[in-house]
Amino acid sequence: MAFEDFKQRWPENIAGKFYVGAQCLDCDLCRHLAPEVFAHNDEGGYTYVKKQPETTDELARCREALSRCCVNTIYDDGDLFDWKKPAA
């Protein structure tokens, strides 16, 4: 969890604690675990955070997706950085 990872996030990620980085392999696990939080970019073939978790259940499933991500590219430190700066 570092600023370099944050700069490599997908631009579609909604501002907040969770985001998906550019290393996403589009395995579909996170979308399967938390479909209300994660969405698919059809053109780019990757996943992004479409909505920050709002309920305890959504948060738990989002954390499970983070812990099971095969390339460790789901992050939960987005509330530490300035979302107004564009992703690299």
The reply to whether 31 falls in a domain is yes
The reply to whether 41 falls in a domain is yes
Q: Residue 20: helix, strand or coil by DSSP?
A: strand
SS3 content of the chain, % helix, strand, coil (to 5): 30, 15, 55
The reply to whether 87 falls in a domain is no
Using the Cα atoms of residue 31, residue 68, residue 11 and residue 84 in order, give the sign of their dihedral.
Answer: positive
Q: Residue 78: helix, strand or coil by DSSP?
A: helix
What does the pLDDT read at residue 18?
97
The reply to whether 86 falls in a domain is no
Domain extent, residue 30, equals 3-80
Q: What is the CATH number of the domain that holds 38?
A: 3.30.70.20
Number of structural domains, the chain? 1
The reply to whether 51 falls in a domain is yes
Segment 25-76, tens digit of pLDDT:
999 999 999 999 999 999 999 999 999 999 999 999 999 999 999 999 999 9
The reply to whether 12 falls in a domain is yes
Which residues is 19 bridged to in the sheet?
A: 75
